Amino acid sequence: MGAEADPSRQSLPPAGTVMGGRYRLTRLIAAGGMGAVFEAEDEEAGRQVALKLLHPELTSERDVRRRFRRESSVLLALDHPSIVRLLDVGASDDELLFSVMELLDGETLYERLEASGAMSARALLPIVDGMAEGLAAAHEHGVIHGDLKPANVFLLRDAAEAASPVKLLDFGLSKVLGLERLTRTGELIGTPAYMAPELLTGKGEPDARIDTYALGVILYQCLSGRVPFEGKVPGKLMMDIVMGDHPPLAELAPALPPDVPLVVSQAMSRQPTRRFGSAIALARAFRAAVG
């Protein structure tokens, strides 16, 4: 399912552990700052699933556990080809929270970029459409992703046979943990590179436009091979996102159709009101710009 951060395998339950009385862990898929993802056997349904175990430090607070239960009821109702299907949620005997999802075959967009580098605008079209459709479906239910990044975009191996070539992962987790918690870089998600400026400054109430911004950053990265703002010092990186200038996309990828950088720039506007009104509007503008 793709790693989310530097692997951390300390204190993870071993293979064979049964979670929630029915999910037997078979192997570790990935581990990171947010938790760990296992392949597991659903012994009641007789199928293989993916089980995400949230890090105990994230879920020990009572308000987090309450939000987890509340948000899960919304996420369980999300049914869209571009969103990974949430099958169940629960807690282990020692009160660790977990979610159960369909098991996917493929790689994350992060893994694709690490292996192959920048992509052409045309190759990116179906991925952008899939991401936008998934975001639109969630936004219609009042669900904001809040942590959209290449590691949370899964590319299906048999995309030609699927209704959508992508599956968005970790929907709603940012709201469960508290959006303000996501700014604690280095502890949870490693980098704020995909976070909208208003999230970093705390000005205004975050809404669906933070996902539009993140989608713009992903487009910039896919087309240029790098994120707009880079840096290993979290404070400086966040300051650059809020106030600094990034290299123009047109200079990094001069072969792009001329309108593509304009679309990406609008999606990444520091002013939420200047961004596209929806993810679908962004995808349509991108497709028109590619021609």
- Each of the 291 residues of the chain gets a pLDDT tens digit; together they read 544 433 344 578 999 999 999 999 999 998 876 779 999 999 999 999 999 988 777 666 676 677 777 767 778 888 999 999 999 999 887 778 899 999 999 999 999 999 999 999 999 999 999 999 999 999 998 888 888 999 999 999 988 888 899 999 987 666 655 554 444 433 434 358 998 998 888 877 789 999 999 999 999 999 999 999 988 777 888 899 999 899 999 999 999 999 999 999 999 999 999 999 999 999 999 999 999
Q: Check residue 92 and give its pLDDT.
A: 83
Domain positions in the chain: 18-102, 106-290
Residue 192 tokens, joined: 């704020």
Q: Which of 42, 39, 41, 20 is nearest to 30 (CA)?
A: 39
Topology annotation, domain 18-102: Phosphorylase Kinase; domain 1 (3.30.200)
Q: Check residue 43 and give its pLDDT.
A: 98
Q: Is the pTM of this model over 0.85?
A: yes
Return the active site residues. 147
Instruction: Output the 3-class SS for the chain.
Output: CCCCCCCCCCCCCCCCCEECCCEEEEEEEEEECCEEEEEEEECCCCEEEEEEEECHHHHCCHHHHHHHHHHHHHHCCCCCCCECCEEEEEECCCCCEEEEEECCCEEEHHHHHHHHCCCCHHHHHHHHHHHHHHHHHHHHCCCCCCCCCHHHEEEECCHHHCCCCEEECCCCHHHHHCHHHHHCCCCCCCCCCCCCHHHHHCCCCCCCHHHHHHHHHHHHHHHHCCCCCCCCCHHHHHHHHHHCCCCCHHHHCCCCCCHHHHHHHHHCCCCHHHCCCCHHHHHHHHHHHHC
Q: In this structure, are residues 36 and 52 in contact, taking their beta carbons and an 8 Å threshold? A: yes
Q: Check residue 59 and give its pLDDT.
A: 64
Q: Which residues fall within 8 angstroms of residue 261, CB to CB, at 6 or more apart?
A: 248, 249, 250, 253
Q: Which CATH superfamily is domain 106-290 in?
A: Transferase(Phosphotransferase) domain 1 (1.10.510.10)
